[in-house]
Structure 1
Amino acid sequence: MSDVYCIVEGYTEQTFMRDTLAPYLAEKACFLHARLIGTPGHKGGVVTFARFANDARILLKQSSYTMLSSMFDYFRLDASWPGMKDIQLAHASGRELSPEEIETILS
């Protein structure tokens, strides 16, 4: 049995996790819990790395057996995310990055 907490940007991502992914994973004894980033009542928007890191610290302190993931819209990540400046520099120089390259830079 595994618990996976996923920090998500908004209600759409939370609903997708709850209604689509969670039932599938529960059949495999993996229990997915989608948490909205930030404070209750938050409505999405620009996602800062500081806000994500704070929420991640809180969730990871809850249990040593907790796994963490996230789901955010790429276009909402701000420049504070590790790797975003490299991506912006590549785009500014005219270099087209593939989704795989972006994923590697942000991982």
Structure 2
Amino acid sequence: MKRIYILVEGQTEESFVDEAIVPFYAQLGIFIQPIIVSTSKSCKGGITSYAKIKPQILKLCKQDRNAWVTTFFDLYALPNDFPMKSSSGYNSLNNCHDKVDFLENALQQDISEQNFLPYIMLHEFEALLFVDPDKFEWWVDDASIIDSLHQIKESYSSPEEINNSPQTAPSKRILGLIPDYKKVVQGTIIAMEIGLDEMRRQCLHFNHWLDRLENLRDL
């Protein structure tokens, strides 16, 4: 059975991988294990510094050469010491897909391990929840909130393109409409109700990553 370790930012991503991705790939003969990045002795999760997570990626790659290592990091709020993020080449790009491809290539080159496959989420996990805003209806009593979520989605050609400022990132938009939104529990449940198939249909960068994971079984 092929083994893949997925380094994730926090409990929400860990829960999503465990509940949605692990069972699907187990059917394909691929064992997947999410691992939350460690950023300090007292706190786990979140990428506050690339210098803190690079050794963790390298350690995973080197300790099990027969396994693959990938990431599930948000483009939103990546630290400035992330490879090439502060470069003029990155800052000259306007298209979010070009930006994420640029950073994934930079990460691939910086890690430089044959069993490493980088993935950076456009723009964060909550973008996947905008695939079907109707799935929020169990968590709100006001239909106008669902309408507002639909309006946000319809303003972009893809949920992945919902942008990444402190005010307009997907999670901030959800919290602005649903202040008591609990991302670990509610986010995972909503994601499961939407399902991987529809996420993959609407979120092409996410789908491309999953395609690459599936193709690893033949290597």
TM-score scaled by length of structure 2: 0.42
Please tell me whether the aligned partners of residues 45 and 76 of structure 1 are also in contact (alpha carbons under 8 angstroms). Answer: no
User: In the alignment, is the contact (CA less than 8 A) between 1:7 and 1:69 conserved in 2?
Assistant: yes
Which residue of the partner structure matches residue 28 of structure 1? 28
Aligned length: 101
1:76/1:2 CA distance change after superposition, 3 Å: same
Letter of the structure 1 residue corresponding to residue 71 of structure 2: S
In the alignment, what sits opposite 1:77? 78
Distance 1:40 1:4, change over 3 A: farther
* 1:49 paired residue number: 50
Counterpart Cα distance in 1 of 2:26 and 2:35: 17
Q: Following TM superposition, by how much is the alpha carbon of 1:105 offset from its aligned partner in structure 2, in angstroms?
A: 1.0
Q: What is the distance in 2 between the residues matched to 1:59 and 1:79?
A: 23
Q: Which residue of 1 aligns with 2:99?
A: 102
Distance change (3 Å), C-alpha of 1:103 and 1:12: same
Q: Return the index of the structure with the highest Cα Rg.
A: 2
Decide which structure has greater helix share. 2
Name the residue aligned to 1:7: 7
**1: CA distance between counterparts of 2:76 and 2:8?**
14
Any idea what SS the aligned residue of 1:105 has? helix
C-alpha displacement of 1:41: 5.7
Please, which runs of 5 or more residues in structure 1 have no aligned partner? none
Match for 1:61: what amino acid? K
Could you state the TM-score of these two structures normalised by the residue count of structure 1? 0.82
SS of residue paired to 2:55: helix
1:43 deviates by: 4.4
1:17 aligns with: 17
Q: CA deviation at 1:40?
A: 6.9
Aligned-residue Cα RMSD (Å) equals 1.9
Counterpart secondary structure, 2:86 = helix
Instruction: Decide whether the 8 Å contact of 2:9 with 2:72 is kept in 1.
Output: yes
Alpha-carbon shift at residue 64 of structure 1 (Å): 1.2
Ranked by relative contact order (alpha carbons within 8 Å, sequence separation 6 or more), the top structure is 1
Report if the CA contact (8 A) 1:9-1:47 is conserved: no
Deviates more, 1:7-16 or 1:49-58: 49-58
